[in-house]
Chains A and B, each alone.
Chain A
Amino acid sequence: MVALVLVGHSPELLRGLRAMLAQAAPTVLVSVAGGTDGGTLGTSAPMILAAMRRVFAEAPDGAVVLLDLGSAALALEMALDDLAPADRARVRVSRGALVEGAVRAAVEAAGGAPLTAVLAASEVPPGQAKLPDDWPADGSAPA
């Protein structure tokens, strides 16, 4: 089964998201790297590397990585530098929104979908299918 790696600036944010995923897709392995080594807001390449190594110890089918903000991609890229080539080949990094992408990816992974399908599920544009179709396009409250 494909696993998920969640990378974000806030440990609390990722703890909450992991709890949501555990409810939506309890069988999916989820590893998180939130905050810096000292627990402050930020991202840490060593923590991201450790999170990826944890999933690859148990998830031979690969992992989809989701990020909260673009600056996390810099730390992620450094962590990928240090990952073993065989593991690096089994990583796919999502352009999807963190919360919605992770939930969709987890549900897809729980159904036994392959890595490419889990990635595709995570990249559904944010906002799509969140509100009813007849919600005003400018975001104002419905009449």
Chain B
Amino acid sequence: MSGALVAGWLRLAASRIAAERVHLTELDAAIGDGDHGINLHRGFGALEARLAAGDFAMDAPGPLLVLAGRTITGTVGGASGALYGRALQRAGAALEAWPGGSGVTLAQLATVLRAAVDGVAALGRSRPGEKTMLDALVPAVVAFEAAGATGADLAGALQRAADAAEAGARDTLPLLATKGRASYLGERSIGHLDPGAVSSALLLRALADVAAGGA
């Protein structure tokens, strides 16, 4: 898990969010306030610009993730900005134990992912099954942990995490929202995908693709 991998991930995430912003916003218009794609696009666009401008040191993945999280919380606005910012900052803080990013085992990386997802759950006072980004993130961490235990390499473990996140996002369709703006709709939230779960899966797929070298 090098700084270059993290930077490559953030750049790919920004371009995929740009491509998907209309879709994400349409999902959010159905059950939220219709700004998820626009907000994420603005925040990741700002992040991409700062990466391109050389504002961040790229050699250490931990501090890079912390700074990326701060940029996201300052520019996305809304709950998703705070939650994604918290995830990136917690992951970055957990990675600071390995300054160069080398020599981190998959089991140790699993604790980094777990710290990020726990940060989201704690800030949002939420858990899986409530039609939120946790419905993609938690299965992803579980799959990553399982892949690590069976001897997968980093790219393989991230691939399985992204698969689990996408399945988790699809599975939000029949759920009743009880957290966030979608909860205002009550039963009318049933039958729609959760935009936060979909964007979480998108971010994890981008990470897996960068790790696989296919980006």
Which of A's residues lie within 8 Å of B, judged by CB?
Answer: 9, 35-38, 40-47, 71, 74-75, 77-78
| Chain B residues with CB below 8 A from A77, complex form | 82, 123
Given A78-B82, A78-B86 in contact, is the A42-B73 Cβ separation under 8 Å? no
* Chain A interface helix/strand/loop/mixed: loop
Which of B's residues lie within 8 Å of A, judged by CB?
Answer: 39, 42, 46, 70, 73-79, 81-83, 85-86, 89, 123-124, 180-181
Contact of B42 among A9, A40, A45, A47 (CB under 8 A): A40
Q: How far apart are A131's CB and chain B's nearest CB, in angstroms?
A: 26
How far is A71 from B124 in the complex, measured between Cα atoms in Å?
9
Q: How far apart are B186's CB and chain A's nearest CB, in angstroms?
A: 17
Q: How far apart are A18's CB and chain B's nearest CB, in angstroms?
A: 20
Beta-carbon contact of B75 and A74 below 8 Å: no
Beta-carbon contact of A36 and B74 below 8 Å: yes
How far is A53 from B112 in the complex, measured between Cα atoms in Å?
30
Contact of B79 among A36, A38, A47, A74 (CB under 8 A): A74
Beta-carbon contact of A78 and B123 below 8 Å: yes
Beta-carbon contact of B86 and A44 below 8 Å: no
Beta-carbon contact of A43 and B123 below 8 Å: no
| Chain B residues with CB below 8 A from A44, complex form | 73-75, 77, 81
Closest to A47 in B: B74
Given known contacts A45-B82, A78-B73, what 6 new A-B pairs fall within 8 Å (CB)? A37-B46, A42-B76, A44-B73, A45-B74, A74-B79, A75-B81
How far is A89 from B42 in the complex, measured between Cα atoms in Å?
34
| Chain B residues with CB below 8 A from A47, complex form | 74
Contact of B75 among A9, A37, A41, A78 (CB under 8 A): A37
Q: How far apart are A142's CB and chain B's nearest CB, in angstroms?
A: 31
Q: How far apart are B104's CB and chain A's nearest CB, in angstroms?
A: 24
